[in-house]
Amino acid sequence: MFDDPSFRRGARESSLLFFATGAFGLAYGVLAVEAGLSPWLATFSSIVIVSGSAQFAMLGLLPAGPVPVLLSAAGLGLRHLPMSASLAEMIGPRSIWSRLRLAYILVDETFGLTVRAHHSGVEDVVAYKTAADLVLYSGWMLGTVTGAWFGSSIDPEAVGIGVFFPLLFLGLAVPLIHKRRDLLVGALAVGVTLIASLTLPQAWQLTAAATVAALIGAGLDE
């Protein structure tokens, strides 16, 4: 597989992801330990979950208890449904092991690259995505391990690293805004979150705000 032109193209085109996800992995490792996870649990979570958004959301919601964490994981997982349906169409009939492997690292970044490569006629979509996934996963794990085991010398409050967590989500939200309806949903989410912060228990604020905003958006015409 390593000699496959599609595999090499996937590795080449995703190489920048190594550094980008490595930086986020580093921040995750530091913040996970700061949030109370042991270094090995922080590392284990990156092995098991492999989802920056779900893992950062988990850290943010840990003080609120397991129910909000699980609800947010389910909510964030919703976006994987159309992604996996789209990927299944692209790869065609494949072995169950290939499908399991591709599902394990079905993340926004390499999915986006794979869709673009598919449209530009890459020969083997599975080899391409496998290479991109390996690059991304290496960066994510290396960053997490470094942050979790060697990041204790960093004082998150003094450095102000905590601000990067919500900023990251702002940065992840912005590319999802394509239409006027998306902008409206974003504005609604801001408003409902602020109202919820004054009226609801902390455990329910984010889930309630996101659900209300998405429900209103789903009822609107494009």
Partner 1 sequence: MSDLGLILAVGAITFGSRITFLLRPRSAPVGAVGRFLELFPLALFVAIATSGLAAPNGAPEVTEALAAAVGGVCGAVVFRRSLWGVLAAGALAFYLTRALFA
Pick the closer one to partner 1 by CB: 86 or 152: 86
141 to 160: interface string for partner 1, x by CB under 8 A: -------------------x
CB of 114 to partner 1, least distance (A): 13
Pick the closer one to partner 1 by CB: 5 or 74: 74
Neighbours of 151 (CB within 10 A): 24
Secondary structure of 176-222 in HEC code, one letter for each residue: HCCCHHHHHHHHHHHHHHHHHHHHCCHHHHHHHHHHHHHHHHHCCCC
Structure tokens at 116: 């673009």
- Binding positions for partner 1, 76-115, rule CB under 8 A: 76-89, 96, 99-100, 102-104, 106
Q: Considering only the stretches 113-121, 128-136, 140-148, 208-216, report the one whose residues sit in contact with partner 1 under the rule CB under 8 A.
A: 208-216
CA torsion sign, 210 to 216 to 218 to 222? negative
Q: Please say whether the beta carbons of 161 and 41 come within 8 A.
A: no
Q: Considering only the stretches 113-121, 122-130, 135-143, 194-202, report the one whose residues sit in contact with partner 1 under the rule CB under 8 A.
A: 194-202
What one-letter code names the amino acid at 163? V
68 binds partner 1 (CB under 8 A): no
Q: Considering only the stretches 3-11, 116-124, 144-152, 177-185, report the one whose residues sit in contact with partner 1 under the rule CB under 8 A.
A: 177-185
Q: Considering only the stretches 2-10, 63-71, 119-127, 132-140, report the one whose residues sit in contact with partner 1 under the rule CB under 8 A.
A: 63-71
Structure tokens at 125: 């979509």
17 to 56: interface string for partner 1, x by CB under 8 A: ---x---------------xx---x--xx--xxxx-xxx-
Determine the Cα–Cα distance for residues 112 and 66; give it in Å rounded to an integer.
Answer: 31
132 binds partner 1 (CB under 8 A): no
Determine the Cα–Cα distance for residues 205 and 200; give it in Å rounded to an integer.
Answer: 6
Determine the Cα–Cα distance for residues 37 and 55; give it in Å rounded to an integer.
Answer: 12
Determine the Cα–Cα distance for residues 126 and 115; give it in Å rounded to an integer.
Answer: 11
174 binds partner 1 (CB under 8 A): yes
- Under rule CB under 8 A, how many of the chain's residues touch partner 1? 86
